[in-house]
């Protein structure tokens, strides 16, 4: 094996090619075997992940090994190694754009296809803010789980996930990427579907319909009524029923007043139950049970 | 960190390794396979590092990991504290395998203590295990991961392949969803499509003199004959995916999955306005998903293209169920408020219909355009179809003869009277995303984006003259000669966004975003909504120590004229009463919204990291232009106001938090967090009935009324956590301690002017506030000692204490059959999970090979 010139002509002059990391002027590639002699822990972590699968043409292993990301290392080796020697791409001090550019040499497809201009790209995040390429976690995450990783910044979401009504994220039966693509998506809030509702229908396909009798705000946005990250009100409701429904509905005959108990009755210990049971427990959905839509010919008011 | 040791003298290496070749090496030549024996790579082995321990702590994942990580250099966001580097020392035996198992035995005082405790998990006495395995030889690889094996929340994943040729994966996962333990039910046949009651009970309850008598009898039946049931669902998912890589740069993928859901869930049903009952609804679903995609993705190319097709088939194996009416044994014509005196002997519920969804999508990306820009395009079309057989209008054989446009007289139970046999609903969606992103210099970046999401209603309206409400009373349109016609949602949302970012210095960045979003609808009160948003972003690394990320945003929503009774008009019944005039549905209301978010993180010292955040949102709803009321009898004064008179008037949501991590040595670290969230809103409504004293159309057609009420609703939420990780004997004995706390505190305070009863005020008294609204309190405490016998075996012993308490007005004075003005309700407790306190001890053995 030998060293190659920098940069390899076919990798840098092709139209559209992203530049490979460059290091010291005139530096050449030495091969991962040389890197492994000193950086043993990094080498083993590299061998424990798909990046090292040299049989896969998509990997650094199929290109220049360690130097695919860190740049040609001959100057580093000849200078005796050490931090800063040979001007290797060391990531820690680089700008977010430069760090991401290394990963984006290859990660231009699949979930990463819409990275450019995505919310995290716009906020100056780099791949290494979330991924530790030499770490041992799934998907090379920099934390042991997605929850730990994402809630580092999205702290208000962490609070919401602690609420009594929640999706099974803290039970680890769901994770953030079940709904979001942090690398960029076609939808608001990095939702990995064409709309918020389309995402919800992936698991709640029964609510997909279309129904004979639709409930239009439900069709427009599940988040009109639900907070998917957690709520004090079952089931993930943004407001407790019946007030949730009363934000839009005040119909004739219906008891709008939850407070029908007088002060004297309250003082006498009269339970709320004895006053307006229609508004208790499930509130309006005690009777209007099919609020997500009804397929019953008599389902105009979502009773059936 | 100390500087890395110097590299071996290059002259120690074989000359062939360092001498410059006559011709430069190619990528292929430099691609080195360290799995081969004939290389100079040092020996290495696969290691297992994934989390496979039993899931015991419910807040797992919410606490930051505490492993020591030196804090040096400027922090970026909140530092990643735990990149797990395998702990290698010296030569490793080279093996193509790595296997690790984590086995635990659990003991607890009451595994059936509450459905809330077991909501999405299976914590009970006995054994469970986790498994992790990896294999790699040459280009062949195999990985297996399993958790909670043998439990109702188990999951397993298996993937493998031959690098550069193909990859495949298999998945199996189970998730329980426990709604209620020890709920009550009088019905037999739970879990089937027919819920039946004993004829004797129905006969007895039908032969009742008064509602009070009925409630007494019902209470006796519940006490004496109701069975105790658990209501839960089980979700099972199996999936497989295969990717063909040998055709690189064209990569094809195909996947299939099936998700089954079985069980019962607590929900309700009603018979007229007179009574309602809680029922265990049967659930037997299957959702099949099939996806294929092809992608051209060559790193050196400036083009990326992908196309995909998805087919999703939802199958409900039970499309309806019947449920006996406890208050009737014989069908009778219905009335509005009767309980035992009229109505059907059996009701029938239409369940979610089976449906099919097709989606075609394509992505196209061009990179390295002028100004260092990238162009992204995404286009997708979705086709949603549902054509299930329709049920007849009612089960009630005694209902009066009905009429339809095609059938002048038919029985409500006769499906031949339906306007059509099947639903024939259809909906198409279109999505377009166009994005141009440029980074012409290190300082400047911009982004322009257009997005369209459209939902097209393709259904032929289902038109009828009458229907049967709740299998009880026949309903006629209020409009003479009117009809009822189904209406599907139909809308399009277009968004144009322009963003720019400029770096004032390497540590300071300014950003600005303008977004214009327009939503056009059919069939609802507001035809057009326009959101204009202006957002400013500011990121600053202050003196290299504090990382600040912040933004503020202002949104103004404007709308077209608000048509109060649009829904009735498009359904063919314009004379139907609309709702209270001036009530603006909050999702269609114009508003002004201000939002701000700040997050600051600092490394106070090399061992202390502090992070704080605040997010604040304030929305003030306003009044749109009001459309005319077309109802013939309307007599409405459409007064205006600078605030929405009825409906939600304002809304506030604020969230604050503080995190601290202290890691003075690699053997000790502490983590603590505090959080507070406050959500409040105010809304106004009126109690009214047609021709009643507060009727806004005839008796009080003005904004002011003593029957108006205002609710001010507040939800506070407090969280706290503390974690300690200490290495008591380095590399041998580790103590971890985690505590989490959550408390919600809700209240609803009402106000209403007090007038004269029966004259000008429906509720002529000062309202009593509701101080206990979904108040919950939870604690979770988990100390654990872990002892590492050697590199391959560790033992752990732990204790988990959990407590959850709830206080809500629904829990106060709860009975299974409350009596009220118009009838009797039967509520069987399915929605009221009980408070719990649980103690769990566990022993865990982890072994690695």
Q: Do A11 and B27 touch (CB under 8 A)?
A: yes
Give the per-residue pLDDT at A8: 43
Give the per-residue pLDDT at B630: 61
Inform me whether the pLDDT recorded for B309 exceeds 90.
yes
Which tens digits make up the pLDDT trace of B426-479? 999 999 999 999 999 989 999 999 999 999 998 889 999 999 999 998 999 988
Q: Do A272 and B83 touch (CB under 8 A)?
A: no
* Residues of chain B found within 8 Å of residue A189, distances taken between Cβ atoms: none
**Helices in A82-215 by DSSP H: which ranges?**
96-103, 119-122, 146-150, 155-161, 196-203
Which tens digits make up the pLDDT trace of B133-180? 999 988 999 999 999 999 999 999 999 999 999 999 999 999 999 999
Give the per-residue pLDDT at B26: 53
| Mean pLDDT (chain A, rounded) | 86
Distance CA A280, CA B773 (A): 12
The string of DSSP codes covering B764-829 is: -SPPPPB--SSEEEEEEEEEEEEEE-SSSEEEEEEEEEEEEEEE-GGGTT--SS-EETTEEEE--S
What's the pLDDT band for A129 if we cut at 50, 70, 90? confident
| pLDDT greater at residue B183 or residue B816 | B183
Other CB atoms within 10 A of residue B479 CB: 17
**Torsion B239-B244-B245-B248 (CA) sign:** negative
Closest C-alpha to A34, from B89, B4, B14, B25: B14
CB B182 within 8 A of CB B228: yes
Span B310-331, mean pLDDT?
A: 96
**A interface mutation test: which of B46, B350, B547 has the most A CBs within 10 A?**
B350
Which tens digits make up the pLDDT trace of B749-777? 999 999 999 999 998 999 999 999 999 99
Nearest CB among B18, B276, B445 relative to A286 is that of B276
Question: In chain B, what is the greatest distance between 2 CA atoms, to the nearest angstrom?
Answer: 107
CB A90 within 8 A of CB A41: no
Give the per-residue pLDDT at B475: 92
Convert B156-186 to b/e letters by CB count within 10 Å (16 or more is b).
bbbebbbbbbebbbebebbbbbbbbbebbbb
Which tens digits make up the pLDDT trace of B663-689? 888 788 888 889 999 999 999 999 888
What's the pLDDT band for B831 if we cut at 50, 70, 90? confident
Could you say which residues from 253 to 292 on chain A have a Cβ atom under 8 Å away from some Cβ of chain B? 253, 255-263, 266, 269-278, 280-282, 285-287, 289-290, 292
Distance CA B175, CA B122 (A): 9
Give the per-residue pLDDT at B632: 53
Residues forming a β-bridge with B658: B612, B674
What's the pLDDT band for B263 if we cut at 50, 70, 90? very high
CB B791 within 8 A of CB B848: yes
Inform me whether the pLDDT recorded for B796 exceeds 70.
yes
Assess A301–B contact: CB distance below 8 Å, yes or no.
Answer: yes
**A interface mutation test: which of B8, B27, B347 has the most A CBs within 10 A?**
B27
Closest C-alpha to B586, from A160, A282, A221, A283: A221
Q: Do A3 and B20 touch (CB under 8 A)?
A: yes
Could you say which residues from 190 to 219 on chain A have a Cβ atom under 8 Å away from some Cβ of chain B? 194-195, 198, 201-203, 205-214, 216-217, 219
Q: Which of A260-264, B66-70, B743-747 has the lowest mean pLDDT?
A: B66-70
What's the pLDDT band for B96 if we cut at 50, 70, 90? confident
Distance from CA of B213 to the nearest CA of A (A): 15
Which tens digits make up the pLDDT trace of B481-532? 889 999 878 999 999 999 999 999 888 999 999 999 999 998 899 999 999 9
**Torsion B12-B16-B17-B22 (CA) sign:** positive
CB B185 within 8 A of CB B298: no
Residue of A nearest to B510 (CA): A123
pTM: 0.92
Span A155-166, mean pLDDT?
A: 92
Give the per-residue pLDDT at B639: 63
**A interface mutation test: which of B82, B91, B257, B299 has the most A CBs within 10 A?**
B299
Residues forming a β-bridge with B158: B144, B170
| Degrees, nearest 5: CA angle B369-B373-B376 | 95
Q: Do A271 and B814 touch (CB under 8 A)?
A: yes
| Mean pLDDT (chain B, rounded) | 87
CB A104 within 8 A of CB B69: no
Give the per-residue pLDDT at A255: 67
Distance CA B502, CA B446 (A): 9
Span B241-246, mean pLDDT?
A: 96
Looking at chain B, the whole-number percentage of residues with pLDDT higher than 90 is 62
Which tens digits make up the pLDDT trace of A12-49? 333 333 456 777 788 889 989 899 989 988 888 898 88
How is residue B3 written in tokens? Answer: 């500087």
**B interface mutation test: which of A181, A206, A234, A275 has the most B CBs within 10 A?**
A206
Residue of A nearest to B268 (CA): A286
Distance from CA of A89 to the nearest CA of B (A): 16
* Highest mean pLDDT out of A97-106, B46-55, B317-326, B336-345: B317-326
């Amino acid at each position: 094996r030998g060293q190659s010139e920098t940069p390899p002509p076919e990798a840098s002059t092709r139209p559209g090619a992203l530049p490979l990391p460059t290091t010291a002027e005139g530096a050449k590639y030495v091969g991962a075997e040389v890197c492994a002699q000193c950086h043993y822990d990094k080498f083993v972590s590299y061998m424990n992940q798909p990046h090292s699968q040299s049989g896969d043409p998509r990997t650094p292993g199929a290109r220049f090994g360690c130097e695919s990301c860190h740049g040609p290392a001959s100057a580093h080796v000849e200078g005796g190694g050490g931090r800063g020697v040979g001007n290797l791409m060391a990531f820690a001090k680089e700008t977010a754009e430069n760090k991401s550019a290394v990963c984006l040499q290859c990660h231009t497809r699949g979930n990463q296809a819409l990275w450019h201009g995505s919310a995290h790209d716009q906020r100056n995040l780099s791949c290494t803010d979330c991924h530790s390429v030499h770490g041992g976690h799934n998907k090379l995450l920099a934390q042991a789980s997605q929850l730990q990783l994402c809630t580092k910044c999205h702290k208000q979401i962490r609070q919401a996930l602690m609420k009594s009504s929640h999706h099974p994220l803290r039970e680890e039966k769901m994770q953030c990427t079940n709904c979001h693509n942090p690398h960029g998506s076609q939808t608001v809030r990095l939702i990995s579907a064409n709309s918020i509702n389309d995402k919800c229908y992936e698991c709640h396909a029964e609510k997909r319909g279309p129904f004979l009798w639709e409930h239009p705000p439900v069709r427009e946005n599940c988040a009109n009524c639900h907070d998917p990250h957690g709520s004090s009100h079952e089931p993930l409701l943004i407001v407790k029923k019946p007030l949730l429904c009363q934000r839009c509905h005040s119909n004739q005959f219906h008891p709008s007043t939850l407070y029908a108990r007088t002060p004297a009755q309250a003082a006498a210990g009269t339970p709320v139950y004895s006053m307006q049971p229609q508004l208790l427990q499930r509130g309006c959905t005690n009777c209007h049970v099919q609020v997500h839509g009804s397929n019953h010919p008599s389902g105009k008011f979502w009773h059936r | 960190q100390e500087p890395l040791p110097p590299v071996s003298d290059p002259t120690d290496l074989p000359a062939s390794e360092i001498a410059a070749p006559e011709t430069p090496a190619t990528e292929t030549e430099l691609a080195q396979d360290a799995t081969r024996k004939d290389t100079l790579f040092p020996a290495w082995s696969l290691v297992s590092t994934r989390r496979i321990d039993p899931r015991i702590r419910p807040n797992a994942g919410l606490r930051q990991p505490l492993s020591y990580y030196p804090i040096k250099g400027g922090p970026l966001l909140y530092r990643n504290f735990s990149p797990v580097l395998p702990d290698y020392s010296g030569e490793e035996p080279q093996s193509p395998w790595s296997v690790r198992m984590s086995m635990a035995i659990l003991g607890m005082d009451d595994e059936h203590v509450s459905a809330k405790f077991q909501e999405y998990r299976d914590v009970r006495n006995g054994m469970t295990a986790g498994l992790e395995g990896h294999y790699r030889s040459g280009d062949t690889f195999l990985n297996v991961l399993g958790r909670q094996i043998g439990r109702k929340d188990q999951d397993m994943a298996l993937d493998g392949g031959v690098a550069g040729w193909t990859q495949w994966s298999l998945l199996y996962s189970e998730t329980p969803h426990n709604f209620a333990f020890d709920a009550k039910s009088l019905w037999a046949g739970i879990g089937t499509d027919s819920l039946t009651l004993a004829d004797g009970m129905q006969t007895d309850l039908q032969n009742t003199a008064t509602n009070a008598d009925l409630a007494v009898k019902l209470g006796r039946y519940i006490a004496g004959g109701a069975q105790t049931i658990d209501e839960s669902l089980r979700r099972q998912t199996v999936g497989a995916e295969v990717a063909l890589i040998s055709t690189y740069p064209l990569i094809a993928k195909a996947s299939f999955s099936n998700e089954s859901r079985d069980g019962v869930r607590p929900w309700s049903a009603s018979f007229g306005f007179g009574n309602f009952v809680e029922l265990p609804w049967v659930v037997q679903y299957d959702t099949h998903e099939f996806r294929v995609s092809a992608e051209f993705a060559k790193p050196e190319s400036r083009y990326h293209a992908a196309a995909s097709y998805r087919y999703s088939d939802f199958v409900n194996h039970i499309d309806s169920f019947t449920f006996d009416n406890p208050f009737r044994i014989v069908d009778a014509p219905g009335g509005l408020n009767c309980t035992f005196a009229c109505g059907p002997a059996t009701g029938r519920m239409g369940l979610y219909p089976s449906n099919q969804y097709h989606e075609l999508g394509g992505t196209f990306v061009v990179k390295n355009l002028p100004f260092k820009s990238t162009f992204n395009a995404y286009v997708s079309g979705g086709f949603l179809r549902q054509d299930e057989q329709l049920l007849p209008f009612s089960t009630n054989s005694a209902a009066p003869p009905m009429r339809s446009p095609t059938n002048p007289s038919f029985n409500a139970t006769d499906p031949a009277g339906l306007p059509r046999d099947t639903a024939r609903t259809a909906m198409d969606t279109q999505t377009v995303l166009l994005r141009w992103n440029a980074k012409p210099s290190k300082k400047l970046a911009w982004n322009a984006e257009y997005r369209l999401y459209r939902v097209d209603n393709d259904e032929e309206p289902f038109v009828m003259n009458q229907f049967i409400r709740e299998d009880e009373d026949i309903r006629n349109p209020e409009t003479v000669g009117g009809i009822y016609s189904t209406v599907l949602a139909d809308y399009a949302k277009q968004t144009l966004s322009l963003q720019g970012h400029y770096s004032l210095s390497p540590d300071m960045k300014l950003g600005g975003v303008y977004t214009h979003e327009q939503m056009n609808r059919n069939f609802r009160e507001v035809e057009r909504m326009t959101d204009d948003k202006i957002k400013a972003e500011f990121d600053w690394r202050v003196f290299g120590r504090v990382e600040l990320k912040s933004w503020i945003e202002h949104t103004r929503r404007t709308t077209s004229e608000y048509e109060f009774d649009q829904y009735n008009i498009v359904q063919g019944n314009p004379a139907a009463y609309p709702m209270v005039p001036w009530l603006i549905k909050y999702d269609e209301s114009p508003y002004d919204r201000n939002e701000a978010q700040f997050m600051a993180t600092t490394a106070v010292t090399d061992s202390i990291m502090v992070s704080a955040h605040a997010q604040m949102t304030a929305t003030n709803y306003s009044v749109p232009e009001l459309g005319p009321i077309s109802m013939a009898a309307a007599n409405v004064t459409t007064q205006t106001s600078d605030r929405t008179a009825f409906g939600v008037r304002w809304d506030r949501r604020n969230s604050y938090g503080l995190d601290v991590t202290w890691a003075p040595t690699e053997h000790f670290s502490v983590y603590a967090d505090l959080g507070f969230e406050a959500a409040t809103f105010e809304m106004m409504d009126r109690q009214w009935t047609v021709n009643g004293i507060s009727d806004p159309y005839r008796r009080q057609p003005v904004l002011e009324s003593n029957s108006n009420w205002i609710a001010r609703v507040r939800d506070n939420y407090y969280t706290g956590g503390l974690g300690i990780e200490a290495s008591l004997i380095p590399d041998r004995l580790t103590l971890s301690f985690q505590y989490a706390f959550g408390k919600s505190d809700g209240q609803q305070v009402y106000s209403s002017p007090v007038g004269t009863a029966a004259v000008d005020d429906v509720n002529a008294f000062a309202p009593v506030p509701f101080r206990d609204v979904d108040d919950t309190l939870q604690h979770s405490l988990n100390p654990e000692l872990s002892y590492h016998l050697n590199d391959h075996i560790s033992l752990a012993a732990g204790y988990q204490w959990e407590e959850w308490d709830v206080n809500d007005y629904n829990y106060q004075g709860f009975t299974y059959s409350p009596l009220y003005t118009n009838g009797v309700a039967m509520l069987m407790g399915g929605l009221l999970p009980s408070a719990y306190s649980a103690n769990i001890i566990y022993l865990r053995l982890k072994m690695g090979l």
